[in-house]
Amino acid sequence: GDGCPLQLLLQPGKAERTEEIYTFVLMGSEGDTVTLSCNYSGSVHYLYWYQQKSSSSPQFLIADYSENTPGLSLQHDKKTREFHLNISSAAVTDSAVYYCLTQGGPFPNLQLTPQLGEASGPLLERATTVSLHSNNKKTLYNNCVKVICRKDLEKRTECAWSRRIGDGVAPCWEILYTPPIKKQTAHLQWRDLHGAIACNAVVSVMNPALSNVCPFCGHPETIFHLFIECERLLNFHTLLSQVFSSFNVQFSEKVFIYGSKERKENKKKWQLLNFVSGTAKLAIYVSRGNKVEERRVRTQPQCGAATSAAD
């Protein structure tokens, strides 16, 4: 650890303190409460104070984890990175050289660097070296996922709709959670933009026993089909188009899926239209879930009816 010597001299008279670069000389009176201070840089796990009297080796005095020690106390200010030794009712016998020491953790500071090989892409850009001691579990988890799934994530766009909508336009991420949009709607829109919705085209890959078709029209149910292409949505999209037209805005896939920034001059209008789009997507998703659940109930064995027939 790092050490810093402090010399304490106690004598009758007014307390006086002078400082040098490496050695601190503190003079005080008997019976005073004397405070010795040290500062440090970086992160530390343990703090110690040692006392060395003339013609003897330094002796351990107190640590930040020590229980109550008569006449001594240690204060640690993590914000200013200072720790203080308080000696109450100081006596001439307390005159000595004091050392403050810091120690890091018992384990080395391990660094993890994601090995992505030649893989690259928007979803892999933020995979950087992390410290096991200072990074949170979410950062560590994200890096592990990027390494394990690097082949699937390579060249993949951040938004599932980028290739379909094109124009190099990015979603308006900041409006997803803007009031009056509720959290449930915001979460759905975030999942929609990332393609993280369990539509049948995805679920059937993981479970071949399930069909990949839409529960309404029988076409393959991709995320694009779910919110845009299904024929059951034709009248619904026509209604949305009429609502947008009343605000002199042309309804389109881009506006519906990506939303629009709420600029100062038309903030209230776009707050309302973004809210309408989010609520419409939630209605589409919930009604689709109800249809799937209805079909599931129909295909389940009717135990009560079978029992009645047997009777």
Predicted pLDDT at 24: 53
**DSSP label of 54:** T
**Burial category of 187 from C-beta neighbours within 10 Å (exposed 0-12, middle 13-18, buried 19 and up):** middle
Supply 193's token pair. 């933009």
Query: In the chain, pLDDT over 90 holds for what percent of residues?
Result: 29
Q: How far apart are CA 232 and CA 287, in angstroms?
A: 11
Phi, psi of 51 (to 5 degrees): -120, 130
Q: What is the largest CA-CA distance in the chain?
A: 106
pLDDT at 308: 41
Q: Is the pLDDT of residue 74 over 60?
A: yes
pLDDT surpasses 80 at 303: no
Question: For the residues 88-100, what does the mean pLDDT come to?
Answer: 86
Query: Residue 301 has what pLDDT?
Result: 53
Label residues 269-301 b or e (16+ Cβ within 10 Å = b): ebbebbbebbebbbebbeebeeeeeeeeeeeee
pLDDT digits (tens, 9 = 90+) for 164-217: 888 778 888 888 888 899 999 999 999 999 888 999 998 998 898 989 999 999
The per-residue pLDDT for 237 is 96
Structure confidence by residue, pLDDT tens digits, 251-271 = 999 999 999 887 778 889 999
| Higher-scoring residue by pLDDT: 202, 302 | 202
Rg (CA), the chain: 34
Q: How far apart are CA 160 and CA 174, in angstroms?
A: 17
pTM of the model: 0.54
Domain ranges of the chain: 2-103, 111-153, 162-296
For 2-103, CATH number out of 2.130.10.10, 3.30.1370.10, 3.30.465.10, 2.60.40.10 equals 2.60.40.10
Region of 291 please: left (phi>0), alpha (psi -120 to 50) or beta: alpha
* Out of 23-27, 71-75, 221-225, least confident range: 23-27
Answer yes or no: is pLDDT of 298 > 70. no
